[in-house]
Amino acid sequence: MPEEVPLTGAVFAAAGENGLRVFSVDGVRWTHQQLDREGMLLNHACIDGGRCLVVGKFGGDSVAWSTTDGISWTQNKLNTQAYAGKFGPVFSADGQFQVIANDDGAIPGVRTSPDGTVWAPRKPLMAERKGLKHDAGLRRFARGNNRLVIIGDYGARLVRQPDRALFEAVLGVPAKETLVDIAFGNGVFVGGGMHGLRMRSEDGFTWTDIVNGEEGEHINAMIWDGRQFVGIGQGATYRSVDGKAWTREPNENAPTNAVFGAGIFVGILWPGKQLISKDGIHWSQVHEFPQHVLALAYGSLHKS
């Protein structure tokens, strides 16, 4: 049942199976839980401009939920026809929520909304589908150096340069250099991938300092914690200030997705386990939901 007190200020948000939406101020105690119909999968989340936006699927519909206080939610459909368009990930840029539409063979699109409730028609993200395989999906996003970088399947990397409306694909990236997550900090973009793969770039186009880790140590989350990059892998955490010099520490109970906020890492691990860590290395379980958590976000809800 939703709790009576509206949420304000910095919070972690989690979303997942059966329409799960839930919040935490400290990453430990989770409140304001909401559920919806069985089978609704909410797998993208973003908090910005005082709102939390959650995007997912229910049957043939792509659904978006938004709230400013964790209590009152508004639901919208993102697709205009059933089974038309695969939406996600969701991020914030240019003062708007942006949801990417991944459709096999089509130029990837984006729908934007100032508040998560009113959505502009889909617009193309690129001028042409060049440098993307026909079924490559776009997965993660980072913003920095006045530009946006999106990564995706088969090594896909898109960059939107300052004062440009459209993204350009980085051409010739081999599939084996596919990134799972990227982050921006200290003036550079840093990406992580399978078997401890790491690399850095200042402009999103040229990637250098490519290094591999140990077999199986897949980095699922690359996070800038304000001081350093923290690549959370399956079995080891890699840390670096600049994306060049790295340290490796075996980790415990590593999550498959994580965010950072309020001085703490919050992670998720199937089935429904909520974890926290102070250093990205030692993780402890603080809660377990009956539903699996698919998405995490950190940001501030409306203060007024």
Binding site for another protein (CB under 8 A): 17, 39, 43, 135-137, 139-140, 153-154, 174-176, 178, 180, 193-194, 218, 220, 234, 256-257, 269-271, 292, 294
Which residue shows structure tokens 């075996």?
250
Buried b (16+ CB within 10 A) or exposed e, 156-183: bbbbbeeeeeebbbbeebeeebbbbbbb
CA–CA distance, 240 with 245 (Å, rounded to integer): 6
**Between 53 and 269, CB nearer to another protein:** 269
**Between 67 and 79, CB nearer to another protein:** 79
Minimum CB–partner distance for residue 230 and another protein (Å): 18
Residue 168, phi then psi, degrees to nearest 5: -120, 145
Residue 115 CB burial class (10 angstroms; 0-12, 13-18, ≥19) = middle
Minimum CB–partner distance for residue 150 and another protein (Å): 13
**Between 98 and 257, CB nearer to another protein:** 257
Number of Cβ within 10 Å of residue 38's Cβ equals 10
Minimum CB–partner distance for residue 89 and another protein (Å): 8
Minimum CB–partner distance for residue 225 and another protein (Å): 21
**Between 49 and 89, CB nearer to another protein:** 89
Query: DSSP state, 6?
Result: P
Minimum CB–partner distance for residue 238 and another protein (Å): 15
**Between 297 and 301, CB nearer to another protein:** 297
Q: Which amino acid is at 8?
A: T
**Between 32 and 44, CB nearer to another protein:** 44
**Between 69 and 181, CB nearer to another protein:** 181
For the chain, give the number of residues.
Answer: 304
Which 3 state secondary structure label does DSSP give 147? strand
The token duo for 108 is 């990837």
Computed from CA positions of residues 127, 128, 129, 131, in that sequence, does the dihedral angle turn out positive or negative?
A: negative
* 88-93, long-range: CB < 8 A, 24+ apart: 88/43, 88/44, 88/55, 88/56, 89/44, 89/138, 89/139, 89/140, 89/141, 90/44, 90/45, 90/46, 90/53, 90/54, 90/55, 91/46, 91/141, 91/143, 92/46, 92/48, 92/49, 93/143, 93/148
Which residue shows structure tokens 């938004």?
66
Minimum CB–partner distance for residue 234 and another protein (Å): 6
**Between 121 and 174, CB nearer to another protein:** 174
Minimum CB–partner distance for residue 71 and another protein (Å): 28
Minimum CB–partner distance for residue 61 and another protein (Å): 17
